């Protein structure tokens, strides 16, 4: 499935924060985890993760430190901070709210698709005339 | 497989390309490289060849230009060049500690220079006591308060050997002995000349320290010239800020009825002015690879303007048929004009790509030099006439000597420019002329400092 660019961008922050909530990790592993969680559907351009991580670092949601990889190369590890945890909780609430809202309307579609569609157009025209 | 570059070479190429983006710093490069290598490892484990794995991994990482734009958006400050005292974060801790150490050395030396200025007060020599002898003392020693510390900074930075240090120390010690043992007349001309020329003479000692003792090297001499120009600009900027700081302090404390004028004029201004020389030098050193140098930009801006003014001056003279009227300080004025023109030529040369072919700007440069030569020879003729009427004085001889020194430089430059524009010599000859000429200025300054006072009876 092709997820829209804006949606990918918007979901990046909660996704990265949530993955970091599972434990300290580094960029490549975060991408692997994203692929794993989404079954490979949520594809980012790999490099774009890093500006996101740096933004989160600047905002104080994550901390970075240099460690070393199993092959001995320097590797940058990220850790969720307290503020990051709070932000994650806040984002989670927002996303759940959006999700619930959408679910509410979509479940209506599923139950009586035609009628709800008719209602929807009706409401649009009403909205336009008022 | 034949024709396949080894992985390391490919990664190195990729890294170099990435490094060229200003917004991506070396820790970012390292982080991305770690990512790239992890991806390559995964792909080769899945059966791809190293080359294939590299290509796929690079592709997945995304377009580097877009990536660098993303970095730029996140770190917009990076496009505004980075002259930071602290460096960014945990990057290269070794370089970080050495930078910190350098900062401490610089601040230490700057404080020493500032304090040195106040030490004579312990012995009752007060600059602000309207004491002519004290003022004379400060006038002849001014550069000795700061240049030794500036030289010490470069001696430390370039890790110079004892031979070089000895020569530099001898220059400072010799100068200190000379100017303090000479029985100057407190309001004589020779004292004033020493005040002006000693800094130039001692600038040579600073230069030897700056080039780390390699004073024979033309390239290093050119570096020193560039450094001098940049330091001048930095110093001017710092001085502006210092003036602002002083003005604010005065006004703010006045608002609560406290007069801080004595503190500002006796401590803040003089100590700041001396310490700023060291700090300015350090800034030039620290940022030389970071920002485009300012001096060449300014010369580009002012070469045409100065040329215009000189040509307008000549045209007006011809139109109104007036002769240069020689008054007291006119000679000094023309010396300054020549010095400015030499400076413009020098910094244009220092910034020019020696390989580039002769262009319109080179012709303009020649025009500037020629105009300056004409204006100056008119002034010189007038001055010589005046000297033959009224006789010699220390000031006149010094000014005349300076004029000849600068004129010699410009004549040589004009000649070489003509030959260069005709395609007869390479541009490096012009550079070489300037670096070869450098010792002449210093020799003249030492001559004035060492010989003029006894020659003119210390008056």
Instruction: State residue B14's pLDDT score.
Output: 86
Beta carbons of B61 and A66 less than 8 Å apart: no
Beta carbons of A54 and B37 less than 8 Å apart: no
C-alpha B38/C-alpha A49 separation (Å) is: 15
Contacts of B92 in chain A (CB under 8 A): none
Instruction: State residue B5's pLDDT score.
Output: 63
pLDDT tens per residue across span B88-133: 444 455 666 777 888 899 999 999 998 888 888 887 777 766 777 7
ipTM: 0.75
Instruction: Give the relative orientation of helices A82-111 and A5-21 as an angle to the nearest 10 degrees.
Output: 130
CA angle B188–B191–B194, rounded 5-degree value = 150
Query: Residue A77: which pLDDT band, with cuts at 50, 70 and 90?
Result: very high
Beta carbons of B32 and A58 less than 8 Å apart: no
Which residue is closest to A68 within chain B, CA to CA? Answer: B34
C-alpha A26/C-alpha A18 separation (Å) is: 13
Q: SS3 for B286? A: helix
One of 3.30.1490.20, 1.10.10.10, 3.40.640.10, 3.30.420.40 is the CATH number of A5-129, namely 1.10.10.10
Instruction: Give the relative orientation of helices B50-61 and B7-19 as an angle to the nearest 10 degrees.
Output: 20
Q: Which residues, at least 6 apart from B203, have a Cβ–Cβ distance to it below 8 Å?
A: B147, B228, B442, B445
Burial of B119 (0-12, 13-18, 19+ CB in 10 A): exposed
Beta carbons of B39 and A65 less than 8 Å apart: no
Contacts of B70 in chain A (CB under 8 A): 47-48, 51
C-alpha A47/C-alpha B251 separation (Å) is: 53
Distance of CA B427 to the CA centre of its chain: 22
Beta carbons of A76 and B75 less than 8 Å apart: no
Beta carbons of A66 and B90 less than 8 Å apart: yes
Q: Which residue has the higher pLDDT, B279 or A106?
A: B279
Beta carbons of B67 and A47 less than 8 Å apart: yes
C-alpha B3/C-alpha B5 separation (Å) is: 6
Q: Answer for the pair B51, B5: CB distance below 8 angstroms, yes or no.
A: yes
Instruction: Give the relative orientation of helices B189-210 and B394-421 as an angle to the nearest 10 degrees.
Output: 40
**Strand-pair partners of A64:** A78
Instruction: State residue B16's pLDDT score.
Output: 84
Instruction: State residue B388's pLDDT score.
Output: 77
Average of per-residue pLDDT values in chain A: 82
Half-sphere exposure of A102 (CA within 13 A, CB side): 6
Backbone φ, ψ for residue A45 (5° rounding) = -75, 120
Query: Residue A112: which pLDDT band, with cuts at 50, 70 and 90?
Result: low
Instruction: State residue B441's pLDDT score.
Output: 92
Beta carbons of A28 and B38 less than 8 Å apart: yes
Q: Detail the DSSP E strand segments found in chain A.
A: 25-26, 62-68, 74-80
Residues of chain B with pLDDT under 50: 1-3, 83-91
C-alpha B69/C-alpha B64 separation (Å) is: 8
Which residue is closest to A77 within chain B, CA to CA? Answer: B31
Nearest by CB to B60, from A26, A46, A75: name it.
A46
- CB contacts < 8 A, A to B, total 62
Beta carbons of A73 and B27 less than 8 Å apart: no
Residues of A with a Cβ under 8 Å from any B Cβ are 26-28, 45-48, 50-51, 54-55, 58, 65-66, 69, 71, 73-76
Contacts of B67 in chain A (CB under 8 A): 45, 47-48, 50-51
Report the gap between the CA of A50 and the closest CA in chain B (Å): 8
Q: Answer for the pair A20, A78: CB distance below 8 angstroms, yes or no.
A: yes
Q: What is the pTM for the complete model shown? A: 0.66
Q: Answer for the pair B372, B312: CB distance below 8 angstroms, yes or no.
A: no
Residues of B with a Cβ under 8 Å from any A Cβ are 27-28, 30-32, 34-35, 37-39, 41, 60-64, 66-67, 70-71, 73-75, 90
Nearest by CB to B32, from A47, A55, A74: name it.
A47
Instruction: State residue B348's pLDDT score.
Output: 84
Sheet (strand A74-80) strand order: A25-26, A74-80, A62-68
Instruction: State residue B293's pLDDT score.
Output: 66
Q: Where are the domains of chain A?
A: 5-129
Which residue is closest to A66 within chain B, CA to CA? Answer: B90
**Strand-pair partners of A79:** A63
Beta carbons of B61 and A55 less than 8 Å apart: no
């Amino acid at each position: 499935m092709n997820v829209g660019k804006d949606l990918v961008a918007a979901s990046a922050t909660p996704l990265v924060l949530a993955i970091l909530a599972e434990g300290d990790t580094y960029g490549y592993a975060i991408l692997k985890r994203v692929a794993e969680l989404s079954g490979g559907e949520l594809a980012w351009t790999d490099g774009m993760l890093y500006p996101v991580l740096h933004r989160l670092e600047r905002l104080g949601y994550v901390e970075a430190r240099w460690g070393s990889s199993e092959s001995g190369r320097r590797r940058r590890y990220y850790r969720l901070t307290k503020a990051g945890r709070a932000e994650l909780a806040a984002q989670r609430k927002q996303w759940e709210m959006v999700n619930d809202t959408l679910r509410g309307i979509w479940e209506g579609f599923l139950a009586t698709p035609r009628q709800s569609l008719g209602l929807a157009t009706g409401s649009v025209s009403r909205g336009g005339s008022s | 497989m034949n024709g396949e570059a080894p992985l390391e070479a490919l990664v190195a190429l990729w890294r170099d390309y990435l490094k060229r983006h200003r917004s991506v710093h070396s820790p970012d490069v390292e982080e991305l490289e770690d990512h790239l290598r992890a991806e390559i490892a995964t792909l080769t484990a899945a059966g791809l060849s190293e080359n294939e794995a590299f290509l796929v991994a690079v592709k997945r990482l995304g377009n580097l230009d877009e990536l660098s734009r993303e970095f730029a958006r996140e770190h917009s400050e990076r496009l505004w060049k980075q002259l930071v005292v602290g460096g960014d974060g945990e990057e290269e801790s070794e370089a970080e500690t050495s930078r910190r150490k350098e900062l401490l050395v610089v601040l230490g030396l700057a404080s020493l220079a500032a304090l040195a200025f106040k030490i004579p007060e312990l012995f009752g020599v007060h600059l602000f006591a309207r004491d002519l002898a004290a003022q004379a003392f400060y006038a002849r020693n001014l550069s000795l308060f700061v240049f030794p510390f500036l030289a010490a900074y470069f001696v430390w930075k370039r890790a110079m050997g004892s031979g070089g240090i000895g020569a530099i120390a001898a220059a400072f010690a010799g100068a200190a002995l000379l100017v303090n043992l000479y029985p100057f007349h407190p309001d004589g001309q020779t004292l004033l000349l020493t005040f002006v020329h000693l800094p130039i003479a001692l600038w040579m000692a600073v230069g030897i320290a700056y080039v780390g003792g390699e004073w024979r090297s033309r390239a290093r001499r050119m570096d020193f010239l560039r450094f001098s120009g940049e330091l001048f600009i930095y110093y001017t900027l710092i001085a502006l800020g210092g003036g602002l700081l002083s003005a604010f302090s005065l006004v703010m404390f006045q608002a609560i009825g406290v007069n801080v004028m004595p503190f500002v004029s006796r401590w803040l201004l003089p100590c700041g002015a001396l310490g700023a020389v060291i700090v300015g030098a350090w800034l030039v050193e620290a940022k030389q690879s970071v920002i485009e140098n300012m001096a060449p930009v300014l010369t580009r801006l002012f070469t045409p303007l100065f040329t215009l003014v000189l040509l307008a001056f000549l045209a007006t003279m011809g139109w109104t048929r007036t002769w240069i009227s020689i008054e007291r300080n006119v000679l000094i004025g023309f010396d300054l004009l020549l010095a400015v023109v030499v400076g413009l030529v020098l910094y244009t040369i220092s910034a020019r790509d020696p390989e580039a072919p002769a262009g319109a700007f080179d012709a303009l440069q020649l025009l500037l030099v020629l105009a300056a030569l004409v204006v100056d020879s008119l002034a010189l003729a007038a001055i010589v006439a005046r000297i033959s009427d009224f006789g010699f004085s220390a000031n006149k001889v010094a000014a005349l000597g300076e004029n000849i020194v600068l004129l010699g430089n410009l004549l040589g430059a004009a000649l070489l420019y003509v030959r260069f524009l005709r395609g007869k010599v390479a541009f490096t000859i012009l550079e070489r002329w300037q670096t070869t000429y450098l010792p002449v200025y210093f020799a003249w300054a030492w001559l004035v400092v060492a010989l003029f006072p006894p020659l003119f009876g210390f008056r």
